[in-house]
């Protein structure tokens, strides 16, 4: 089995910024309330004519540049998303066509906010076994399109964006462990009820608002804090490392209070965490790769650093990855 690592990263955020002040005009909320409960100050919103694949393609293009490879070298494209352009074809197919990655296999992966971790864990297997050489993993979401903008409990939390990583064989460093998990008994806690084969789209489902995201916030909060600690610890143990070895934790960016509570339980200080939710909110599968890309481009994460990526979300699902950063090949 050969060593696999991330050899390039990219991100793309839509231009439009929606601030807490803007939200004050839309629902009964306040900047102070949102900041103290979530840590979020603003988020990006896709325009009416922007869909998931538009954001994903641009993030993917930037990751290819950063990796110093061309699209025709890609063997596989995985798009992790809960907001695909269409139920089918897969958004990965649309990205493949736009990038002209003609050789690449394509599929979407549904693991919500844990999607990017599930994606890199999957991609990594193909490369480790020698079946594929280069895989593009993209976490991309247009959550603004499935949010109930009248629900002040959820509409303040989410944003749109895309982050991507190119995975390939590495000489030094790379992934040391993965830990994935799921618990379907909590499926109802965070979901998009209609539009699938259980409740196909009808006039009733539209009228009842069933095509919008629903969340039992408090239950999800408790789950998130617990699982973030457990999953990160499990992944570290599999890698034969302890929390003292962590240079940076790149957590899913759902809520600063979840991150703080988990950091405390893990015994890590705030400066060990890469945080961007103040600017982007929760972008589901895009949160971790965007945070990773920004920290790498800012020179915060450098070759040799030990990273723990940890995600959790609808499903319920969770996942962690431990990797030693190998540095990127191409230009940033």
Site for other proteins in 235-294 (CB under 8 A): 255, 257, 261
| Residue 106, strand partner residues | 77
190 binding other proteins? (CB under 8 A): no
One of 30, 36, 100, 150 touching other proteins (CB under 8 A): 36
Our answer to whether residue 282 is catalytic in this structure is: yes
Our answer to whether residue 252 is catalytic in this structure is: yes
Nearest residue (CB) to other proteins, 107 versus 221: 221
Contact partners, residue 207, CB within 8 Å, separation at least 6: none
| Residue 263, strand partner residues | none
Sign of CA dihedral 64, 68, 69, 74: negative
One of 218, 271, 299, 331 touching other proteins (CB under 8 A): 218
25 binding other proteins? (CB under 8 A): no
To other proteins, the closest distance from the beta carbon of 192 in angstroms equals: 22
| Residue 323, strand partner residues | 175, 307
225 binding other proteins? (CB under 8 A): yes
Tell me how far apart the alpha carbons of residues 175 and 226 are, in angstroms, rounded to a whole number.
24
226 binding other proteins? (CB under 8 A): yes
To other proteins, the closest distance from the beta carbon of 33 in angstroms equals: 9
Q: Could you tell me where the DSSP H helices lie in 140-207?
A: 203-207
Q: Are residues 213 and 191 in contact, defined by beta-carbon separation less than 8 angstroms?
A: yes
221 binding other proteins? (CB under 8 A): yes
Nearest CA to 37 among 153, 191, 158? 153
Residues catalogued as catalytic: 113, 252, 282
Interface residues with other proteins (CB under 8 A) are 36-37, 216, 218-219, 221-222, 225-226, 255, 257, 261
């Amino acid at each position: 089995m050969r060593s696999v690592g991330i050899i390039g990263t990219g991100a793309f955020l839509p231009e439009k910024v929606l601030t807490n002040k803007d939200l004050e005009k839309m629902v009964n909320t306040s900047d102070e309330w949102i900041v103290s409960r979530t840590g979020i100050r603003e988020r990006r919103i896709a325009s009416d004519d922007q869909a998931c694949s538009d954001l994903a393609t641009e993030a993917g293009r930037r990751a290819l540049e950063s990796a110093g490879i061309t699209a025709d070298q890609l063997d596989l494209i995985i798009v992790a998303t809960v907001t695909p352009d269409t139920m089918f074809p897969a958004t990965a197919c649309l990205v493949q066509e736009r990038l002209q990655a003609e050789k690449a296999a394509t599929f979407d992966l549904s693991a919500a906010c844990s999607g990017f971790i599930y994606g890199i864990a999957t991609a990594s297997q193909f490369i480790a076994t020698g079946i594929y050489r280069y895989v593009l993993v993209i976490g991309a979401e247009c959550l603004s399109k499935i949010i109930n903008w009248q629900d002040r409990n959820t509409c303040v939390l989410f944003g749109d964006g895309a982050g991507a990583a190119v995975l390939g064989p590495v000489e030094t460093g790379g992934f040391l462990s993965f830990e994935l998990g799921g618990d379907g008994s909590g499926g109802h806690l965070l979901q998009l009820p209609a539009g699938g084969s259980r409740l196909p789209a009808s006039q009733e489902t539209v009228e009842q608002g069933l095509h919008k995201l629903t969340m039992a916030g408090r239950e999800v909060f408790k789950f998130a804090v617990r699982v973030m600690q457990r999953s990160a610890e499990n992944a570290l143990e599999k890698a034969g490392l302890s929390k003292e070895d962590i240079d940076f934790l790149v957590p899913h960016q759902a809520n600063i209070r979840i991150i703080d509570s988990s950091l405390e339980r893990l015994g890590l200080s705030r400066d060990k965490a890469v945080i961007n939710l103040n600017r982007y909110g929760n972008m589901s599968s895009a949160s971790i790769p965007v945070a990773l890309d920004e920290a790498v481009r800012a020179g915060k994460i450098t070759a040799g650093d030990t990273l723990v990526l940890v995600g959790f979300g609808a499903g319920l699902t969770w996942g962690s990855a431990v990797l030693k950063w190998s540095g990127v090949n191409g230009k940033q």
